[in-house]
Amino acid sequence: MAVLGAATGLLLLLVGIWRLYKLVKKRKNIKLKKNFKRNGGLLLQQQLSSSDGSIQKTKMFTSKELEKATDRFNDNRILGQGGQGTVYKGMLADGMIVAVKKSKIVDEEKLEEFINEVVILSQLNHRNVVKLLGCCLETEVPLLVHEFIPNGNLFEYIHDQKEEFQFSWEMRLRIATEVARALSYLHSAASIPVYHRDIKSTNIMLDEKFRAKVSDFGTSRSIAIDQTHLTTHVQGTFGYLDPEYFQSSQFTGKSDVYSFGVVLAELLSGQKPISYERPEDRRSLATHFILLMEENKIFDILDERLMGQDREEEVIAVANLARSCLNLNGRKRPTMREVAIELEQIRLSKGALHAQQSSKEL
């Protein structure tokens, strides 16, 4: 009898544990579904399904998958932090290394940016644009999963000088050309034209072969093919912001061109977009650069790491292109397609010149 009572008690205990487990699991599932809905899951599904078929399949990761991949978002896995959130290095179950972007506390505006970034990145397929692998909406704040880009961003290589790393002119010119190609693709070759709206050196990532990858599409906007501009409240980064856009609130493809011009000036000079070490009227690199160009003093601003590399003609050609991109009148700036073609020609002329010199030596 005692044995039967003990067995009955054990059975009741097991039933109680099972019911508790089911209750906890049910509550967890309710919470996951609540997070999914709050994080715009239904809206995102609607946006993706309403596409014309140009959008690539976006994987919906579970919170469990990404917690495991990032060791529960361990601080040791942090790759970088910014205004948009924190990026963690993760490893998926199949061994693939990824970057997991965890948004900050999400308000309605940030949520719209997140959904916008997923939808836009799902439409893009270019070797110089960071690839979106998927997202997760089951967590407190939404997560993006990107391909892992191992060598950091362009800003670090321009401004955090490392003696062991030779950031040569050839590499700078190639990176500039790759970014120009990516922007040209966004503006005129993507299935739906896209304005990036926040081009800067920290948003240009470098892969294992130091190839450029344009990233961070949170503030980007897709436009109709016949649309010439967007009227919107001003967003962007001080130092890269198109003055014409700042005054009119009208963003055009030429506004991205202006920001790219600032990146070119950074690559040429090694100086930051905004610096309080320069005189007040020259704190903006764009202004400082244009004034030196007008004074015919481009080599006064040239990054000292580029001295003695025998690239004078190419430097002048790129400097003139940067000056065109920084024209205060947007209509007088080249398009990104024209910029990409010009940079390609500068690189080709360099190759032809070297071939000519080699044949002479033979």
CATH number assigned to the domain covering 49-147: 3.30.200.20
Average pLDDT of span 258-283: 96
Tell me which residues are annotated as active site: 198
Pick 286 or 246 by higher pLDDT: 286
User: Residue 355: is its pLDDT beyond 50?
Assistant: no
- Residue 129, strand partner residues: 214
What pLDDT, on a 0 to 100 scale, did the predictor assign at position 2? 60
| Domain ranges for the chain | 49-147, 154-349
What distance in Å separates the CA atoms of residue 43 and residue 55, rounded to the nearest whole number? Answer: 15
pLDDT in tens, 288-305: 999 999 999 999 999 999
Beta carbons within 8 Å of 313's beta carbon, 6+ residues apart: 349
Q: Are strands 221-222 and 97-103 parallel, antiparallel or unpaired?
A: unpaired
CA distance 215 to 121: 9
Q: Which of 14-18, 185-189, 313-317 has the lowest mean pLDDT?
A: 14-18
Angle, CA 205 vertex, CA 188 and CA 250 arms, to 5°: 45
Structure confidence at residue 361 as a pLDDT band (50, 70, 90) = very low
The answer to whether residue 25 scores a pLDDT higher than 80 is: no
- Position 227 scores a pLDDT of 53
Residues 237-251, mean pLDDT to the nearest whole number: 90
Full 3-state SS string of 97-110: EEEEEEECCCCHHH
CA–CA separation, 196 and 199 (whole Å): 7
Give residue 320's pLDDT: 97
Whether pLDDT at 360 is above 60 = no
The pLDDT score that the predictor gives to residue 356 is: 47
Superfamily of domain 154-349: Transferase(Phosphotransferase) domain 1 (1.10.510.10)
The DSSP string of 108-119 is: HHHHHHHHHHHH
Could you tell me the CA-to-CA distances from 157 to 77, 188, 213, 257 in Å, in that order? Answer: 21, 29, 14, 22
Q: pTM for the whole thing?
A: 0.81
d(C-alpha 241, C-alpha 213), whole Å: 20
pLDDT class for 257, splitting at 50, 70, 90? very high
The mean pLDDT value of the chain amounts to: 83
> In this structure, what are the phi and psi dihedrals at residue 78, rounded to the nearest 5 degrees?
-70, 125
Confidence of residue 88 (pLDDT cuts 50, 70, 90): very high
